[in-house]
Structure 1
Amino acid sequence: MSSRSRLWRVAELPTTRAGVERAFSYFIAGVRIGTLAQMIPAVHAGVTTSPHGIAYAVCWAAAALASVAVSVATLVRRRPLGAAVSALDYTLACLLLLLGPLVLVPGERFGTWVAYQPGYALSVIITAGGVRSVALWAGGMFGIAACYLVYLGGAFSGEMISTAVGNILTFVVYALVARMFFGYTRRIAHDADTSRARAAELARREEERRAQVMMHNGVAVMRMLTEPGTDAARSRLLDLAEVEVQRMRSYLRGRPPDRDGDGSDTALAAIIERACERFADLPVETLLDLGAGVRLSAGDAEAVERALDSLLLNVRAHARADGVVVHLDQGPDGGWTLTVRDDGVGFDPAAVTPGVGLREVVVGELRRRGLDVDVESAVDSGTTVTISCHARSAACGDHDAVRDAA
């Protein structure tokens, strides 16, 4: 189906402000053409019975032409009429009501489409509810109601007073309902557009955060490779760089970095050993026996490994530590705690803003996965980072709890 033909299918219109305005144009055209269709069968009788047949025909033709013109204009514009054209539309409806007593016999002013003027005026009131000027909308509504009183004149008996009052109230009520319909629908469209823009911005920020998380360690390794060092140190950096290159390639190829849904899990102790081997140049001591039974899902394992790499990179680049202790412990309730402590230069958390590595790769990413992260440091007293998981949490490897929650 062509894009042009899709424009005429309301169900396929976008739920945006532009789409809503387009739907309004369909609504306006439908009301105006529908009113014209009701006027057509009675035109011959109106010309025949009118005391001024030619004048009746001219007035009827003006109403018909205006209905067609408004319908075409709104469909072409893809939105309701502007203030200037709406003012002309109101004016014509008022003029037709004022001329009605001249072209109609008194007995035909109620309950017949020969007297098309009130029905035409009602269609104008309904479709002009989309005009943005409140003053124009209110003035047009009350103007039509006043002209309708002139249209009635003294041509109805006391028994018809209730009908006349009911018709005037119909003008007012339909005007209010139409105004509410146009206004509320526009508000929904505006909120939808705002929500989409907000979602797009949040998605952009999240993608930016993911890029920072995925690229940070690799960039840090590449920066170290540009610095002077021994061949042995550069060889160890190259091994670490290869790991980070693989991660960045996976990210750039569009593969989600965290594959939580593959059903596999990994021993946390093995992950820690693998990460520490890449930093063999550091004085790292691993104490993992107490947490040998801890297992993590693939996604959690990858996040913890990235975080540990980032922590050890910080130690290598900044800490000037004589010793690093990595300790893993599992409690009797299934929870576990991973502690990374160095005796380096440390820093003052109150005076130093954490970098991307500590803020996003370690604290931000792990907390998003339900892990607790605590950073303690002091100048000349080293740094301790504690990563912990409470029992009965998905990150603690309690898959039964996850299934129960589902």
Structure 2
Amino acid sequence: MSPPRAARYLGTLLRRGAPAMAGATGGLDEEVADPARVSPLARMRRMAGPVDTAAQDNLLLRATRYVAMVPLVYRVLAVAGALVAFLAGDHGGVAPVVAVAVCSIALNLYGLRWLFRSTPFHGGGAVRLLVLDVVFTIAANLVVAATVPPLAFVAAMQVPGKHLLGGVALLTLALGVGYGLGLTVLSVPLAGVAWWLNNGVFNVKQAFAGLGTIVGVLVTATGALVLLGLGTRLALAYGIRHGREAERARQHRMLHDTVLQTLETIALPCSGSSEHQLSEMRRLARAQAIEVRQALEGAEGSGPLGEKLAALAAEMARDGLRAQLVMAELDPDTLTEVRQVAIRDAAREALRNTLKHSGTDRVVVRAEERDGGVAVVIRDQGAGFDAADRPPGFGISESITARLAEAGGQARVESSPGSGTRVTLWMPR
């Protein structure tokens, strides 16, 4: 027995409407967000490819309900405009037309309020509202047709007609093309019955008179659904790709700033007895184990930036670097936790570079508010280096510059042979 055929995202989208976008992450592969140049049609085929319909993201499911805002807002404006145009003419039968318009606008405003409510989203409630909307659409057309004079028929039917147009778009977006097509087909006998109620004759030509406009709305809503669904899938694919790259970069930085640094420190020549060297290696291993565990558990250095820098200075002192910390008065709420951690980790890399390359065991760390943010300046009087002869390695480009850039900050490294090195880390509020 052959395995069941995999569902296609585009087909699922057309059958189920915007809620199908809740499964847009299912079945995504690297090719969807491949940055290599491909033709637009090839890109769209990849986006419209196989999808795992069992993968449902609750956040996306809640977000798809906002697609219904467009037809609801359209009907509020269009029905009000059609009512104003009707009232501007010298027509009879004003009361039922006004009543239908008021009910239509109230129903759509309630729908908007329902979309924006904070309570959890329930599909059953949405279906009941859509069924109520279809029933009202049919009833509104029949009531207006049966109560207005024949001379006012064409102008009066514009009011429930605008509600009908919005209903086709609403069903297409919310439930799928099949439901929008069903209401489109239903509009033909509905228009014929409305004409018969008003004029006493079933006119086939009049039954099909407005079909072209309704089909245009159906096609437009279908195109909007396809573009919105494929665009969402592509955006999610790129987001997942960039998220994976960012996570890989974070892991690389963590390994560089922790395990690799410790291994390099252990590999340096040591003075003293073998017992002393073994004790020092054990100390480094214990400290490293604690640091890696904190990084994996996400429990690194809570508290204000000053405490983080003080703990960092104590950490570096255990490795033999005496850091003099100069702290200006900083508002503890100036920077978010993410930005404080980015500065702390970038400062750790700068201090380790000082320990390994500067030839000095003294450094000054100054933190102050500057240019609408916080600046941390790390200054040593060591050997320095010529930036032209020594391109930045992984530590500067990734552990310092890239780390700050990801959080919205900037880093500047200034050095010259014999004049030491200054590293300036700046983060906006």
Q: Shorter-chain TM-score category?
A: 0.3 to 0.5
Q: Bigger relative contact order, structure 1 or 2, given CA contacts below 8 A and separation 6+?
A: 2
**Structure of larger gyration radius:** 1
Q: TM-score under structure 1 normalisation? A: 0.46
Q: TM-score under structure 2 normalisation? A: 0.44
